[in-house]
Amino acid sequence: MSAAAILQVSGLGKRFGGFVALADIELDVARGERLGLIGPNGSGKSTLVNCLCGTLRNESGSVRFEGRTLDGLKAHQRTRLGLARTFQLPRPFGTLTLAENLRIPMLYAVQARGSATGPDIDRRCMDLLELVGLADKADRLPKDLTQIEMRKLELARAMAAEPRLLIADEAMAGLSHQEVDDILALLVRLNEEQGITIILIEHIMRAVLSFSQRLVVLVAGRKIADGDPQDVVRQDDVVAAYLGS
């Protein structure tokens, strides 16, 4: 597995004062894999994402991406290397239009890699807005969007960085059945057509199970399960974590 791994996390730990948010996390993600990450509220999922993406510094352990250590790299440097994320609560750039929101990662991540130039960027922004169904609102401000559209914008902005690994942190919370399916289909398409590795953090079990090829469970900052989704959700300690023993 490690030869083909795009992301290797070893011994990762993070504390907030005396509170151990993450302890000794070991995780390999294979190139092109669709990984589901679940866990009860407060289990450390978002903290793990923040440590992977450089928003938080992990005190121990290391993160390797495409064979390169990320320790000490800032969030924007990791984005440039091809590791993009969405935020659990959408954080759009409020004074910029939707098209401009997508321009930012194009200008700062894609162009910094040298793989996009001027007029190309406008077209790619529009293509992405088209893909998530927001093309008719390209010149509107994020405050004009509904919650659902905001989530689509959040996802589109992460995709605009043209990542090789996309971490979607609860991209579907609050969406309807149909909308969840739409986003799932979009993520699967990104994965299958463009070969983007995706880590999906989600509470909607139906979505996680249909999306994931492998499922990892975090409970109280520790990884308690890792394997085939159907097997993992039948594991006793996983059931206990969710339903109580």
Angle, in degrees to the nearest 10, between helices 98-105 and 147-160: 30
107 binds other proteins (CB under 8 A): yes
- Measured at the alpha carbon of residue 207, what is the angle toward residues 204 and 209, in degrees to the nearest 5? 105
- In the three-class reduction of DSSP (H, G, I as helix; E, B as strand; rest coil), residue 244 is classed as coil
Among 24, 66, 100, 179, interactor with other proteins by CB under 8 A = 100
16 binds other proteins (CB under 8 A): no
182 binds other proteins (CB under 8 A): no
Structural contact between residues 24 and 11, judged by C-beta atoms closer than 8 angstroms: yes
Among 39, 44, 105, 221, interactor with other proteins by CB under 8 A = 105
What would the two tokens of residue 73 be? 């790299």
Contacts with other proteins: how many residues (CB under 8 A)? 33
- In the three-class reduction of DSSP (H, G, I as helix; E, B as strand; rest coil), residue 127 is classed as helix
Q: Which CB atom, from 77 or from 213, has the smaller least distance to other proteins?
A: 77
Q: Could you tell me which stretch among 2-10, 72-80, 176-184, 202-210 binds other proteins (CB under 8 A)?
A: 72-80
46 binds other proteins (CB under 8 A): no
Alpha carbon distance 159, 105 (integer Å): 9
Q: For 219, how many CA atoms within 13 A lie in the half-sphere containing its CB?
A: 12
Among 36, 39, 44, 54, interactor with other proteins by CB under 8 A = 54
98 binds other proteins (CB under 8 A): no
Alpha carbon distance 54, 77 (integer Å): 9
Q: Which CB atom, from 109 or from 132, has the smaller least distance to other proteins?
A: 109
Where on the chain is the footprint of other proteins (CB under 8 A)?
53-55, 74-77, 79-80, 84-85, 87, 91-96, 100, 103-105, 107-112, 141, 157-158, 160-161
